Chain A
Amino acid sequence: MNIIPQLIINSIIAGAIYSLVALGFNLIYGATKFFNLAHGVMATVGGYAVFVLSKVLGFHIGVSVILGVLCAGFVGYGLDKIVYLPLRKKRASNMILLVASLGVFTALEAIIAILFTSQFRTLAQHIGTQRIYEVGSAIITQTQVIILIASLVLMAILGFVLKKTMFGKAVKAVSDDEEVAKIIGINTNKIIGYVFFIGSAIAGLAGILIGFDTGIEPVMGLRLLLKGVIASIIGGVGNIYGGVAGSFLLGLVENFGIWKISAEWKDAIAFVVLIIFLLFRPKGIFQK
């Protein structure tokens, strides 16, 4: 049996998920210039919000997903207002912001683990009855098709918003130079707050999609974050389109890597890629 088509499909799906995380990470990095290590936990928050809404409270699945995405967005927005905004006002260095986000990540992961135990849970409604499509010698599940469509649609919408709207221009202005943006009358803190909301909501969606595809657990955030960060660095940090390209490249390398080596080494492979890029191409493949 030819395994390559399946590997390609797996790579694309992994790439789609990573690009959702990388999109938000890059948006936030662009606007604030610090590595937000708490970004991955937003995915966990989104996943568990849907778990509570649909499985515990019995909401309709569509409603739960929308509320779950909003919930992740609001948590991100709240964190900006409670932690990062006061730090920015004090002109804290980006290392302080990084350590603070490390603290946020540590604390949030612990809260989720206390509330929901460290058990692995799935969001899928009817386990084992999903429709499966065959593409040549490869198979793809319905959930995975939805993941692909959702992430492509989202990327298109985000691209449109950033390019064509006043809000998008304001985000670009803040990313280019926050001081100047402030001088020409942009309320930069408000814009950064929105960026946190959007970025976290997209990460939340990534967590939810993973929950439907495989499942959620409290520690999933770190792994996702790292993949998103690695993808961002491959594509050039702060460059959201580069991040998407980096995500698909990372997906390919990981999935083809485990073709010859066993699957447990996926994370290590990802980091080897990171270190190679940091050494030889620290500004990413699309070096400006």
Chain B
Amino acid sequence: MEYIIHLAILFVLYAILGVSLNLVVGYTGLLSVTHAAFYGIGAYATALLSTLFEVPFLISVLIGIVVAGFFSFLMGMVLSRFRGDYYALASLGFNVIMYSIFLNWASVTRGPLGIAGIAKPEIGGVLFSSNLLFLLLAAICLVGIYGISRFMVSSSFGRVLKAIREDETVITIFGYRTLDYKLVVFVISASMAAVAGSLFASYISFIDPSTFTVMESIFILAIIILGGLANIKGSMVGALFLILVPELLRFVGLPNDIAGYMRQFLYGIILIVLMLYRPQGLIGEYKL
């Protein structure tokens, strides 16, 4: 039972990451490979604030959102000028820089040692110490983010995003400042990823830089491409699938380190097969 709850929490975290990334990749058509960087910023914000200053969870989440928002604003200022493969490459570059900061700014992040002893969230006197309660908290966050995303994509804002995806030149001619739209959706998506990061840090209670690599960004990308681009439900399906399948490998009895690479192998193969036979994913609306 504990194990199933653990899986459910992982699913919720990756669903948050997937749904938020889908806003940028699926709806706006910008292939961002830097989501793990914002996931990491949220995680480090909560980890540092909770271990050093004993800041309450909710406030650390808010600060994480602000910091991720700030960084994504700076990155977005640069990224919004690009499209297509250059966007993918430059965003990947930002992930490498951010990872490098987590790893090498040792006086703050403790480098490869990571940060241990992160407190469980406590909100309004309720300590979310049991995994079941934590799942509830995470699920509430997911529902909130799902709702916000749903609202965004069905609003006029969302329609402009889709128009940018289909033909940026035309929508510019209609007088929309596409750079601003691209920037705004990027910042929102990054802030949502930071929430997932805060949850992750307080759930696992230990973080180190190795969670926030380019590879992690590729995993999140695999989730949304599998589920389907420009489909929020699809991202949830993708997250469910890609969390559960690697777990099956555990039952085959592979040693832990090999199981990790099997998971990576599987994600790679899924990406290749999808591109070859079903580039729009399971229930996607948009093809790269």
Find out whether the CB atom of A268 lies under 8 angstroms from the CB atom of B264. Answer: no
How many chain B residues touch the partner (CB < 8 A)? 44
Given A96-B279, A113-B261, check contact A106 B271 (CB 8 Å): yes
Contact of B88 among A86, A98, A117, A267 (CB under 8 A): A98
CA distance A149 to B166 in the complex (A): 49
Find out whether the CB atom of B82 lies under 8 angstroms from the CB atom of A278. Answer: yes
Judge if B89 is at the interface, Cβ distance under 8 Å: yes
Find out whether the CB atom of A264 lies under 8 angstroms from the CB atom of B103. Answer: yes
Find out whether the CB atom of A87 lies under 8 angstroms from the CB atom of B275. Answer: yes
Judge if A279 is at the interface, Cβ distance under 8 Å: yes
Judge if A103 is at the interface, Cβ distance under 8 Å: yes
Judge if B282 is at the interface, Cβ distance under 8 Å: no
Report the nearest A residue to B106, measured CB to CB.
A264
Given A99-B225, A100-B276, A103-B275, check contact A110 B268 (CB 8 Å): yes
Min CB–CB distance B284 → chain A (angstroms): 13
Which of B15-23, B90-98, B140-148 is the interface stretch? B90-98
Find out whether the CB atom of A35 lies under 8 angstroms from the CB atom of B88. Answer: yes
Min CB–CB distance A150 → chain B (angstroms): 28
CA distance A108 to B214 in the complex (A): 15
Find out whether the CB atom of A100 lies under 8 angstroms from the CB atom of B272. Answer: yes
Judge if B101 is at the interface, Cβ distance under 8 Å: yes
Q: Is the interface of A mostly helix, strand, loop or mixed?
A: helix
The contact string, 1 if C-beta is below 8 Å from chain A, for chain B 261-288, is 1101101111110111001000000011
Judge if A4 is at the interface, Cβ distance under 8 Å: no
Find out whether the CB atom of B103 lies under 8 angstroms from the CB atom of A278. Answer: no
Contacts of A275 in B (CB 8 A): 78, 90, 93-94
Judge if B84 is at the interface, Cβ distance under 8 Å: yes
Judge if A104 is at the interface, Cβ distance under 8 Å: yes
Given A35-B85, A267-B96, A268-B101, check contact A106 B276 (CB 8 Å): no
Which of A94, A100, A226 has its CB near the most chain B CB atoms (within 10 A)? A100
Min CB–CB distance B85 → chain A (angstroms): 5
Min CB–CB distance A104 → chain B (angstroms): 6
Min CB–CB distance B37 → chain A (angstroms): 12
Judge if B31 is at the interface, Cβ distance under 8 Å: yes
CA distance A268 to B89 in the complex (A): 14
Report the nearest A residue to B225, measured CB to CB.
A99
Judge if B127 is at the interface, Cβ distance under 8 Å: no
Find out whether the CB atom of B84 lies under 8 angstroms from the CB atom of A107. Answer: no
With A87-B275, A96-B287 known, 12 other A-B pairs at CB within 8 A are A95-B288, A98-B85, A102-B33, A104-B268, A106-B268, A110-B264, A114-B265, A226-B93, A267-B100, A268-B100, A275-B93, A278-B82
CA distance A234 to B15 in the complex (A): 37
| Residue ranges of A at the interface with B (Cβ–Cβ < 8 Å) | 34-35, 83, 86-87, 92-100, 102-111, 113-114, 117-118, 222, 226, 229, 233, 262, 264-265, 267-268, 271-272, 274-275, 278-279, 282
Find out whether the CB atom of A102 lies under 8 angstroms from the CB atom of B264. Answer: no
18 A-B pairs in the complex with CB atoms less than 8 angstroms apart: A92-B275, A95-B88, A96-B288, A99-B225, A100-B272, A100-B275, A103-B267, A106-B264, A106-B268, A107-B267, A222-B214, A226-B92, A264-B100, A265-B104, A268-B96, A274-B89, A275-B93, A278-B86
CA distance A151 to B193 in the complex (A): 43
Contacts of B88 in A (CB 8 A): 35, 95, 98
Find out whether the CB atom of A87 lies under 8 angstroms from the CB atom of B93. Answer: no
CA distance A106 to B288 in the complex (A): 19
Find out whether the CB atom of B104 lies under 8 angstroms from the CB atom of A264. Answer: yes
Per the 8 Å Cβ criterion, residues 58-84 of B in contact with A are: 78, 81-82, 84
Find out whether the CB atom of B264 lies under 8 angstroms from the CB atom of A87. Answer: no
Min CB–CB distance A50 → chain B (angstroms): 22
Contacts of A100 in B (CB 8 A): 271-272, 275-276
Contacts of B257 in A (CB 8 A): 117-118
Contacts of A282 in B (CB 8 A): 86
Find out whether the CB atom of A110 lies under 8 angstroms from the CB atom of B262. Answer: yes
Find out whether the CB atom of A99 lies under 8 angstroms from the CB atom of B103. Answer: no
Contacts of A279 in B (CB 8 A): 78, 81
